[in-house]
Structure 1
């Protein structure tokens, strides 16, 4: 009997020129007790934000107005790098997944949606908690898109609350016919977010008080050849997920490195962590 070859499971990379855009809030919708969907209208003539299917981790840097003065100072782009006016302080920025785009605005401008978790009193949460139509922010990037493999036999997706927007994109954009095993951990039941419906997707919600980690959830899933494991969330938890993935094996074969993508979106106790940093940093 011939066994089907294991999929290659390669990610694709596409670079984009850097653009800095001003955007105005047109709508804010509560999704649960802690998450808001903010819809932003790019100013007329602004370069559109790229939309690449299955690039579920595409993100923009949102630049917020100064919390005291309300002034928004944005860099210009010089030689594909951001440059601030002389003497100007860098605005506070945070990375957010591009949840959706709409290009058919009456004035020809693009509309972009991002989902923000509101927690604590940091500059981003404070802004998101009071944001309303007419407020202005800056959007930088994305600098590139990483498309996920389209040839997996099953997607195993693990996320905390901050990666729910990417999970929404997975459910909408994954190729038809490929099953999805989704595990999402949230602080409590008030943080459950409606997710897109999809045939062949099984979604499991974990509550912090259940004392079940995403790493343990991965261990509890029977591995299968052709799995692609994608995980994103708090960096310390993602280290544990990566270790659990290293223990997986099918038919005596370990999970191939290209079949695993783990991203630390944030780290407990660290403000504004760059998610490009190593998980252990």
Structure 2
């Protein structure tokens, strides 16, 4: 199975261009779509999920024209959006049963088995009769995955699934997603770099509606190995360093800023080489696009 996205573009009525000529080939397994908030990730997910139309381009999956055969897509799609609503006064088992009917599982005994199996799979069976209003954030996310798995989908889309979860719930969710990716195309859209590093064998970085990089996370890290340098600086010096170096990130370490600089060789006194991470890959790509946009804006004013 393969999801093929070619030259996809989308501009909203307010003039915001959410997607700019996006092309991706996504095979069976876990695929990470990484980018900051507002990068275009949700717009792409919503388009694949048939919730909005594209202006240009095409999407095909397992012989289905996604943009034209929407009902066929919905039969084999499992979708967990970034924000989803539940009926607070309904139990998990009753709501999942109702959603199973809507998914076409009309045989009562079959539906009972499917619902029970999914509640076990998501570790919610023991609290199946509890009202959803009493569920924690992580439990609601696991319920979201349970409803997304109704009718054995071939394509699963999860949009920012671990945002706001505590470490224990995040680990449970990771284990569940890893299991799903063994025989299904699973697209994980997130701004959390560690989620992609820990779960995905293939990924893309997207920002401002453009695909900046696509490939294996480990290979992406190897591509910048030996080119990331760090230095502890004073808060008052950060602006100067950002003006003179390719500072891709800065963070507070024990109350003092530490900067990471991308450079082919030692950038200056006091810098030391640091082992590259996927976070460095991510920030180097985002920083590169920022530079490109600034250069384009400057040339337009000349």
**Normalising by structure 2, what TM-score?**
0.28
More helix by share: 2
More strand by share: 1
**Normalising by structure 1, what TM-score?**
0.29
